[in-house]
Amino acid sequence: MTDDDIAGLLGPDGPFARELPNFAPRASQQAMAQAVAQAIDDGGTLIAEAGTGTGKTFAYLVPALLSGKRVIVSTGTKTLQDQLFHRDLPRVRSVLGARLKTSLLKGRANYLCRYRLDQAVKDGRFATRAQTAQLQAIRTWGARTASGDRAELAEIPEDSPLWPRVTSTAENCLGAECPFFDDCFVVKARRAAQEADLVVVNHHLLFADLALKQEGFGEILPGAHAFILDEAHQIPELAGQFFSTSVGARQLADLAQDTLAECGDVSGALNVLQPPLDALDAALKQARLALDPLPQRGAWAQIEQRGEAVDALRALHDALAALAEALVPQAERSRGMDNVHARAETLAARLQKLLDDPDGDEVRWYELSERGFVLSATPLDLAPPLRALREATRASWIFTSATLSVAGSFEHFARQLGLDDPHTLSLDSPFDFATQALAYLPKGLPDPNTPAYTERVIEAALPVLEASRGRAFLLFTSHRALRRAAELLRDRVPWPLFVQGTAPRHQLLTGFRACGHGVLLGAASFWEGVDVAGEALSCVIIDKLPFAAPDDPVLEARLEALRRAGGNPFTDWQVPTAVIALKQGAGRLIRDVHDRGVLVLCDPRLSTRGYGRLFLQSLPPMPLTRALADVQRFFADAETA
């Protein structure tokens, strides 16, 4: 495709402008589409930062569909994946008249497993009547669905304990020997993907597949000529998960439950396996008890400082190995028994590796939940394995997001992913931030580490909320600060509060949008992927610069490795990562050409520390003030406009 072809399609006289209501031709969108087309043609690597409102989805779908090559598009979340496949892709295909095969492919846990549904029905044990009713709803839906995608069954909550019982994992799938293989939803989805010209996946599935291919287990996704990764700022963290070795209490409990279920089909097996299953259950409980005094998350050294914790984990390994041994003669008696035997051996080997001293390229760590735990070993440097995977594909790689650069530089992102000399493109948002937005840095706030900091933040926020008449997001860097802020605001504002943790995220957002004058308090997941256009959101207040938690053992180890290599961990890693996170939070404010709003940045370090300039230089070009009167005037002007 030539640049003129792109300009003709996406320009003011092109088919998109003629056929799509509210389509606005944008030079930045055309520039990105041209760069994507070039990268696909050349087999190159492109990093494209596209500010909010650029229209980056069309900018990569148009050249992808017209390239004549097989393309994988990967998104950050399943929600975005569904939006891309069911809304954006059909629009672009229709305008282009593209007669191509497209496919939606998710991880196997998103598809109903007929075998495990059958096992759950036979088992018949459910904690509540609600679960029994949910199972009946799943059975009814399972008989009529064509895709088996659980997103179709919205009435069953995503966190229902039934879903893990009626979906499969890579570990418990029986593969070609499953009695339901010919009618398997996962197999059908993969076959459709292998035949498609463009496949829409999510990052979890993409990296699970790439990691599995690296280990020689075969491939899930079809070979592609180009990979386009949207919301690419999430890749460094997600890649770490897929190159980690982990063993969790949930995995071991699922193994025990599945082994017990398989005993129903193998005569005499229960008598043989019940003792080692009981021993595993006891060892699992003892291990969780021994880990209980430790902090919720930490480095392996904290486990090693507690001899009883190490002993309990070794006893857990021995119980797991004993179950694997007991399963050896049963493995030949059914495909299901063979599967649980293989899982027991794999998990025992992983646990043994974690208990042994790892090589110097990994960091061992643990995380505790209310009843469980996960033990992990994660590579210190993800660049080498990611580079090797990309080279093995021999494909074009295109990374795009609204937040990839730090003060105009892509060095931090490229270094994390091992991208050597990529083409880069930075496209500003077409929104007029100079008139649509205002950044406000309140005066007089103390150091963020002072005990009463959240109280002072709320004092600074109240007059802003008064001026904006609610209509605000308050974003926090910790759940503790969020809870404290909710307490402080509950009796001091006349507008409805929507507090993360009190209801599912989608319900909070729906209520906030419908309310029109709400105040939403969020942390973590509310900093990105939240789109509230219009007057319902006219103010975003951020309590602190989002530096990563200092108790993250993987981060600590990476910073120490940087220090040993002669780098500066703070300026080389912590600041750039926090800048990208702040850009995500600030990006919630202006989502549309008609939006107006105030961004309140409470952290005084933006003014008192030298690195504060990097954060401010990385934000959209909006006016900056330290005077509350300017904020009040901004909102008053909007009222009279």
pLDDT score at 641:
58
Whether pLDDT at 351 is above 90: yes
Q: How far out from the chain centre does Cα 499 lie?
A: 21
Q: pLDDT by residue (tens digit) across 155-206?
A: 888 878 889 999 998 888 888 889 999 999 999 999 999 999 999 999 988 8
Residue written as token pair 């069309």: 58
Neighbours of 442 (CB within 10 A): 23
C-alpha closest to that of 207 among 412, 386, 347: 386
Assign 585 to helix, strand or coil: helix
The fold of 3-100+197-242+382-427 is Rossmann fold (3.40.50)
Sign of the Cα torsion 208, 211, 215, 219 reads: positive
- Extract long-range pairs of 338-343: CB within 8 Å, 24+ residues apart: 339/171, 339/172, 339/173, 339/174, 339/258, 340/172, 340/255, 340/258, 340/259, 340/262, 343/171, 343/172, 343/255, 343/258
% of the chain with per-residue pLDDT over 90: 72
- Max mean pLDDT range (354-368, 421-435, 522-536): 421-435
Q: Which residues contact 331 (CB under 8 A, 6 or more apart)?
A: 337, 338, 341, 342
434 compared with 393, residue with greater pLDDT: 434
Return d(Cα 240, Cα 242) in angstroms, integer.
6
pTM of the predicted structure, to 2 decimals = 0.90
Q: What is the CATH number of domain 433-640?
A: 3.40.50.300
Residue 591 has a pLDDT of 92
Q: Decide: 112 and 167 in contact? Cβ < 8 Å.
A: yes
Order of strands, sheet of 71-75, starting from the edge strand that comes earlier in the sequence? 102-104, 198-202, 71-75, 226-229, 396-401, 45-50, 423-427
What distance in Å separates the CA atoms of residue 250 and residue 244, rounded to the nearest whole number?
17
Question: Residue 334 in 3-state DSSP?
Answer: coil
Q: Is the sign of the CA dihedral 75, 369, 383, 109 positive or negative?
A: negative
pLDDT, one tens digit per residue, over 66-97 is 999 999 999 998 888 999 999 999 999 999 99
Please check whether residue 75 is in contact with residue 203, taking contact to mean a CB–CB distance below 8 angstroms: yes
Q: Which whole-number Å values give the CA distances from 141 to 137, 149, 190, in the listed order? A: 6, 10, 21
